[in-house]
Amino acid sequence: MSGVHDLLPTRLAHRLMVATLALLVVCAGAGAASAQSLLARWVDRDGAELASRSVDLDVLEGLDGRTIETSTPWTEGVTRFDGPRLSAIAALEPGALVEARLTALNDYAISIPAEDIVAHEPILASRLAGERMRVRDRGPLWLVHDLDSDPALQTQRYHAQMIWQVRDVVFVVDTP
């Protein structure tokens, strides 16, 4: 009899270990999937949600985009970035853009006024030197200004807007 009771703690420990490993696999898979898409939300000035969607990288890369070749404080020399214009993502839903609020995987957050988006046409780059960016390479999405195109962009204000590892964006809009 004592042999059966001695096995119970071992069996319980084994089952707990298997359950923990299964949970880790599921969580790791969910993290990888979320890193391949952008959560985009549209809200009014009072914060009321108007629309929300998860946009995967393939859809983002199909939007109106551009290539920016520029130097940055975080890269060596002139680097090529490709991705959709932030304004093209905002245009997926109706409304006059007021600002875009972007948040990174580490919860760093910035706001970009519509005036900057219209004047400087930043992109949400998904490719660096032609290759899709990985999280360890500041990807999968990095807001990029063409810093070399205008000396006015070589300021802390615009450098701070160049958020990488973008997880989500909230577009504040005025509705018609």
- Domain with 127 in it: what CATH number? 3.90.420.10
**C-beta of residue 126 within 8 angstroms of C-beta of residue 133:** yes
Q: Identify the pLDDT of residue 18.
A: 47
Rg of the chain taking only CA atoms, in angstroms: 22
Nearest residue to 162 via CA among 74, 57, 91, 35: 74
Q: Is the pTM of this model over 0.85?
A: no
Residues 93 and 166 in one domain: yes
The CA distance from 157 to 159, in Å, is 6
Cβ pair 123, 86 in contact under 8 A: yes
Q: Are residues 94 and 152 in the same domain?
A: yes
Q: Do residues 24 and 107 both lie within one domain?
A: no
DSSP states of 67-114? EEEEE-TTSSSEEEEEEEBHHHHHTTS-SEEEEEEEEETT--EEEEEH
DSSP state of 164: B
* Of 112, 98, 111, the residue nearest 172 (C-alpha): 98
Same domain assignment for residues 6 and 28: yes
| Per-residue pLDDT, 16 | 47
What's the structural domain count of the chain?
A: 2
Domain that holds residue 109: 39-174
Same domain, 11 and 43: no
The beta strand positions in the chain, using DSSP E, are 37-43, 49-56, 65-71, 78-84, 96-104, 109-113, 123-125, 127-128, 131-132, 142-144, 166-174
Examine the domain organization and report whether 97 and 134 are in the same domain: yes
The phi-psi region of residue 25 (left if phi > 0; otherwise alpha if psi is between -120 and 50; otherwise beta) is alpha
Q: Do both 26 and 53 map to the same domain?
A: no
Given this model, what pLDDT does residue 157 score? 95
pLDDT of residue 25: 36
Do 79 and 18 lie in one domain? The reply is no
Q: Are residues 117 and 148 in the same domain?
A: yes
Say if residue 76 is in the same domain as residue 28.
Answer: no
Indicate if 15 and 91 belong to the same structural domain. Answer: no
Task: Please name every residue paired with 164 in a beta bridge, in sequence order, or none if there are none.
Answer: 142
d(CA 91, CA 86): 9
Low-confidence ranges of the chain (pLDDT < 70): 1-35
Please indicate, yes or no, whether residues 17 and 95 belong to a single structural domain of this protein.
Answer: no
